[in-house]
Amino acid sequence: MIGRRNFLALATAIPALDGIRTRSTKVEKVFDSPGPKPNGLQATQDGLWILDQGNKHISLVSYENGKVLRDLETESDRGSGITFDGEAIWIGSTYDRTIVRCDAKTGKTIRKYFTPGAGVIYQRSGDAAARRSPLASTPPGRQQPRAAPSAPRSGTGAHGMEWRDGKLWFAVPPSRTIYRVDPARWEVEHQFPTSGNRPHGIGWEGEWLWCTDSNQNAFFKHDVTSGEIVEKIQLADSDPLPHGMTIWKGMMWYCDDVGIVCRLQM
């Protein structure tokens, strides 16, 4: 039986979604990704970094047309998040549940770290159903089959990542949490819950942090001090499904893992 204190702790760990400002938007398909399964994006002055889960490559591409400016192979395992600290690339190596810092010119691993909150994604009452891209081979509206409750499932780690003021931020679906870590000590300094069990790309809009949820087909704007959700952008069922996400000059860029890079006006 859940005690009152534990019940209250659980309740406060679930962000309130009722009554928040929600808006729809028009999505523009900008270009095809260089790899087959893009899963992480990071905007920089030099171009848009894309992490591909299918071929383990990271590519720096032009915002205008997706032209590849740099392409590197990494040692990540089906990675889902990427960011740049000004010198090196950080990757959420999702299926070996590590976070990798790698050379931005060669792709070679500099160091690996364990992922706080890594584990097996679970289903909670009221969660959105698993969602696939409407551009995938499975017809829209047909849900992915769920594993039987007793079936073994692979553990996973970090997804969307951001670097700010010497700190690494990342979303971890199994714990439904966004973390801020001090990379020097590899110590969690701050954390707050996400809206659901499939948080993906994250991106800064000033002091606000947006987080994608792929099953909810939406983006959620967080106050990073309290974790409170203050706004939501809801995509249409026909829009490409959001995975990696980043923000650049008033535009939110995101990728569908079928090979499409999109953007929308903030």
- The pLDDT-based confidence of 2 (bands split at 50, 70, 90) is very low
- How far CA 166 is from CA of 40, 75, 82, 185, 190, in Å, comes to 20, 24, 15, 12, 14
Is 85 domain-assigned?
yes
Q: Answer yes or no: is pLDDT of 226 > 60.
A: yes
Average pLDDT on 70-90 reads 97
Q: What span, in angstroms and rounded, lies between the C-alpha atoms of 148 and 248?
A: 41
Is 141 domain-assigned?
no
Is 55 domain-assigned?
yes
Q: Answer yes or no: is pLDDT of 6 > 90.
A: no
Q: Domain holding 248: CATH number?
A: 2.130.10.10
Cβ-proximal residues to 48 (8 Å cutoff; 6+ apart), any chain:
41, 42, 60, 61, 62, 63, 246, 248, 253, 261
When the pLDDT of each residue in the chain is averaged and rounded to a whole number, the result is 91
Q: Answer yes or no: is pLDDT of 15 > 70.
A: yes
Q: What span, in angstroms and rounded, lies between the C-alpha atoms of 157 and 79?
A: 9
Question: Is residue 160 within 8 Å of residue 194, measured between CB atoms?
Answer: no
For 135-186, the pLDDT digits (tens) are: 987 544 444 445 455 556 789 999 999 999 999 999 999 999 999 999 999 9
Q: What span, in angstroms and rounded, lies between the C-alpha atoms of 48 and 61?
A: 5
Question: Is residue 38 within 8 Å of residue 160, measured between CB atoms?
Answer: no
Helix, coil or strand: residue 249 = coil
Average pLDDT on 79-107 reads 97
Q: What span, in angstroms and rounded, lies between the C-alpha atoms of 50 and 4?
A: 45
pLDDT value for 17:
76
Number of domains in the chain: 1
Is 143 domain-assigned?
no
Residue 101 structural domain: 24-121+152-265
pLDDT value for 16:
67
Is 146 domain-assigned?
no
Is 189 domain-assigned?
yes
- The pLDDT-based confidence of 59 (bands split at 50, 70, 90) is very high
pLDDT value for 13:
62
Q: Report the percentage of the chain scoring pLDDT > 70.
A: 89
Is 127 domain-assigned?
no
pLDDT value for 251:
97
Closest CA to 128 of 218, 229, 52: 218
Q: Answer yes or no: is pLDDT of 187 > 70.
A: yes
